[in-house]
Amino acid sequence: MSGAENTVKIKSADGSVRDFTRGKSAREFIAEMPDSKNFVAVLVNGKLADLNTPIAEDSELRPVTLTDQEGIDILRHSTSHVMAQAVRELFPGVKIAIGPSIEDGFYYDFEYGKSFTPEDLLAIEKRMAEIIRSDAPFTRLECPRDEAIRLFTEQGEGYKVEILNEIPDPKISLYRSGEFVDLCRGPHLPSTGVIKAFKLTGLAGAYWRGDEHRQMLQRIYGTAFPTREELDEYLHLVEEAKLRDHRKLGKELGLYSIEDDIGPGLVLWHPKGAAVRMVIEDFWRKEHIKRGYQILFTPHVARQKLWEKSGHTGFYRENMFSPMDVEGMPYLVKPMNCPFHIYVYKNQIRSYRDLPLRYAELGTVYRYERSGVLHGLLRVRGFTQDDAHIFLTEEQLGPEIETLMDFTVGMLNQFGFSDFEIFLSTRPEKSVGSAEAWEKATNYLISGLQKMGLKYTVDPGAGVFYGPKIDIKIRDSLKRTWQCSTLQVDFNLPERFGVEYISEDGKAHQAIMIHRALMGSLERFFGCLIEHYKGDFPLWMAPVQMRVIAINERNVAYAQRVWEELLGRGIRVDHDFSREKLSYKIRKAELEKISYSIIVGDKEEKAGEIAPRGRRGELGKAMKVSEFLEGLAPELSLPQKKGGVYQTGS
């Protein structure tokens, strides 16, 4: 082979290009780079690879460190392998399934005759630390698929064999660290010693491949970070998240419940939770009416043929409940509101002068979710969407998208969310409509985001079956993201249902439809609010804003008049006229996160005043009820949009 044939050209991240000996490893190429000791993998032409990967052709190469997300994912996946090795060594007869990295860590699934315990996790962590100290290299092995099947069959690893039987490639990659060999695409860290900070975080059950008819496995969760400081910070946030868990606070504060006799995923809003929902709904309606929306109410069920026409039975059937028979006709509870809004639109002939026509509804929908994925208020089977559908012309589409994005971000701001991630979801594999319509709709969404200067990430193939969409994820006070708002452009349902308007030329033209939800669902949004505020809502939103407390029994009559006056002024107020000690009653109000205790004793009764106390112990001077409420007016009022440009997070 000539010298030219024996070299390849490597382009580095800085744009420089140099010759490199063909077949040498990426590790050798980056060895002379600054900080090369911190590299854990490489991107070769955009594809992740081990440092020992031979470079056989002209390539663009970028080193990966533990400051990169790719590096973090590799760290966590490698740690999951170390965990699997430790489990196998400590628990003879265990069978291992899969162990990927996930958003905040990793897990591995196991089949074992006994249930793992928290004490077992401590033993596994100890053995993992020993494996890490051994600094065993992660070595990639390649072998014929039949040989890999024979290896794992001999080891009794049936889950690995099942996976291998579904892989069409004749050659399979395995990874070895020490004596442990696992089926894996990789890449992995150079060695176990690179792992510096890890923690096993929990146990759970998981069906093999998520199929409730298959074997129930034991899942061990864990996490890993480049440094101990980052791990400690994460563990602190995990503990804080437990304190904020909306399921825990929902029960403690009497906000909502889910009863098994009624059905999993079906929410009972208790008086305090319903009070917050009422405030949210009142604010939502007020803001929509100000912007020209018309409020609708639609049925909870419809004939199955409606959902066949809309395409839901073809593309969404697995998320819909079984039909019910009504006079020999199959009916389905609605998973969405859009077909109903279409029929309201079609009830009369529409002119271009009527558009855009904006309909909004707090519509309760029902979707079948497997019991294993139900999660408090965040994943339910019956929920109320803050839904809207806008019918408009193509010329109106661009400006309307900008208006909707401003409305969405502004609404979220008012509830205390100012940091967002925005995703543009494109056409999925299973969809309806022409490529031209999809491209046109996607370009309008891109244009709207760009004109507003909003940063976004493309999420390929994550659109709904009838159109592309923008999703907004809010970041809460712990910097966790929650999916709430969505905006979808739809050329397809208007075509299916013949949604038209009469244009200036006197002819009928197809309208365009936008599906839009600002909060997503009231249940999920309420769950986010509980955790964001730790159940301590702003005064305007608080379920109980004040509690009138009588110091003595002789003050009850006056306290009753104060309570009635506050009720008459629109305050959400209750009272405590019990014979308990004042300190007990104040502490009880604080634990229930009631914003203000209104204390009434002999002195206050004589002066015709009240003594307010904030839930964090702030003492106000004695004053008249009217004076107190006047001072709180800004906190009690529904929020108003302030001037300025809304910004999203990076």
pLDDT in tens, 401-441: 999 999 999 999 999 998 989 999 999 988 888 888 889 88
Q: What is the mean pLDDT of residues 219-244?
A: 95
Q: State the pLDDT at residue 643.
A: 41
Q: How far is CA 365 from CA 307, 489, 577, in A?
A: 14, 21, 42
- Which is the catalytic residue, given 387, 490, 574, 576? 387
Q: Please give the average per-residue pLDDT across 13-41, as a whole number.
A: 81
On whether the CB atoms of residues 38 and 66 are closer than 8 A, the answer is yes
Is the CA virtual torsion 110, 115, 118, 120 positive or negative? negative
Active site residue 385: yes
Active site residue 640: no
Left (φ > 0), alpha (ψ -120 to 50) or beta: where does 648 sit?
A: beta
The predicted-structure confidence for 311-352, as pLDDT tens digits, reads as follows 888 888 889 999 999 999 999 999 999 999 999 999 999 999
Element (H, E) at 553: none
Enter the CATH code of domain 7-65. 3.10.20.30
Averaged pLDDT of the chain: 91
641 vs 639 pLDDT, higher one: 639
Whether 389 sits among the annotated catalytic residues: the reply is yes
Taking residues 57-70, what's their average pLDDT? 88
Check whether 357 has a pLDDT greater than 70: yes
List Cα–Cα distances, 133 to 82, 119, 128, 194, 444, in angstroms: 11, 22, 9, 9, 55
Residue 532 known to be catalytic: no
How far does the chain reach from its first CA to its final CA, in angstroms?
50
Element (H, E) at 9: strand 7-11
Known catalytic residue at 484: no
Task: Tally Cβ neighbours within 10 Å of residue 439.
Answer: 13
Task: Please give the biggest Cα pair distance in the chain.
Answer: 106
Distance set, CA 261 to CA 258, 266, 274 (Å): 9, 10, 21
Q: Which CATH superfamily includes the segment(s) 70-235?
A: Threonyl-trna Synthetase; Chain A, domain 2 (3.30.980.10)
pLDDT in tens, 537-571: 999 999 999 999 999 999 999 999 999 999 999 99
Q: How confident is the model at residue 55 (pLDDT cuts 50, 70, 90)?
A: confident
CATH topology for 546-636 is Rossmann fold (3.40.50)
What is the C-alpha to C-alpha distance for residues 530 and 321, in angstroms, rounded to an integer?
A: 29
Q: Residue 356, preceding bond cis, omega within 30 degrees?
A: yes
Selected catalytic residue, list 73, 77, 246, 338: 338
Q: Compute the CA torsion angle 29, 34, 38, 41 (nearest 10 deg).
A: -30
Please say if the pLDDT value at position 496 is more than 50. Answer: yes
Identify the pLDDT of residue 120: 96
Pairing mode, if any, of strands 611-614 and 596-600? antiparallel
The tokens describing 175, both together, are 């990874």
Among residues 77, 334, 381, 469, the one annotated as catalytic is: 469
Q: Contact at 8 Å (CB) between 382 and 266?
A: yes
- Measured CA to CA, the distance from residue 351 to residue 505 in angstroms comes to 11
Extract the tokens encoding 100. 């990927």
Q: Which of 199, 515, 572, 615 is catalytic?
A: 515
Q: How far is 317 from 311, CA to CA, in rounded Å?
A: 9
Please say if the pLDDT value at position 370 is more than 80: yes
Q: Tell me the pTM.
A: 0.82
Within its chain, how far is the Cα of 416 from the centroid?
A: 17
Spatial separation of the C-alpha atoms in residues 384 and 370, rounded to whole Å = 19
Q: Mark residue 35 as left, alpha or beta (left: phi above 0; alpha: psi -120 to 50; beta: remaining).
A: left
**Are 89 and 126 spatial neighbours (Cβ–Cβ below 8 Å)?**
no
From 218, 385, 396, 488, active-site residue: 385
CA atoms within 13 Å, Cβ hemisphere of 261: 0
Quick one: which of 174, 143, 142 has its CA closest to 157?
A: 174
Rounded to a whole number of angstroms, the CA Rg of the chain reads 30
Contact call for residues 573 and 543 (beta carbons, < 8 A): no
Enumerate the CATH 3.10.20.30 domain ranges in the chain, comma separated.
7-65
CA atoms within 13 A on the CB side of 211: 5
Buried b (16+ CB within 10 A) or exposed e, 154-168: eeebebbbebbeeee
Q: What is the mean pLDDT of residues 517-545?
A: 95
pLDDT at res. 433: 80
User: Confidence class of residue 222 from pLDDT cuts 50, 70 and 90?
Assistant: very high
| CB 277, CB 525: distance < 8 Å | no
Please count the helices (runs of H) and the strands (runs of E) in the chain.
Answer: 19, 32
Residue 468: pLDDT over 60: yes
Rounded (10°) CA dihedral 28, 32, 37, 43: -60
pLDDT recorded at residue 640: 60
Does residue 515 have an active-site annotation? yes
The Cβ of residue 379 has, within 10 Å, a number of other Cβ atoms equal to 17
Asked whether the beta carbons of 395 and 509 are under 8 A apart, the reply is no
Say how many residues make up the chain. Answer: 650
**DSSP symbol at 226:** S
Distance in angstroms (rounded) separating the CA atoms of residues 501 and 510? 6
* pLDDT of 4: 56
Q: Report the run of H or E that residue 54 belongs to, with start and end.
A: none
pLDDT band (50, 70, 90) for residue 650: very low
- CATH architecture of the region 256-533: 2-Layer Sandwich (3.30)
469 is catalytic: yes
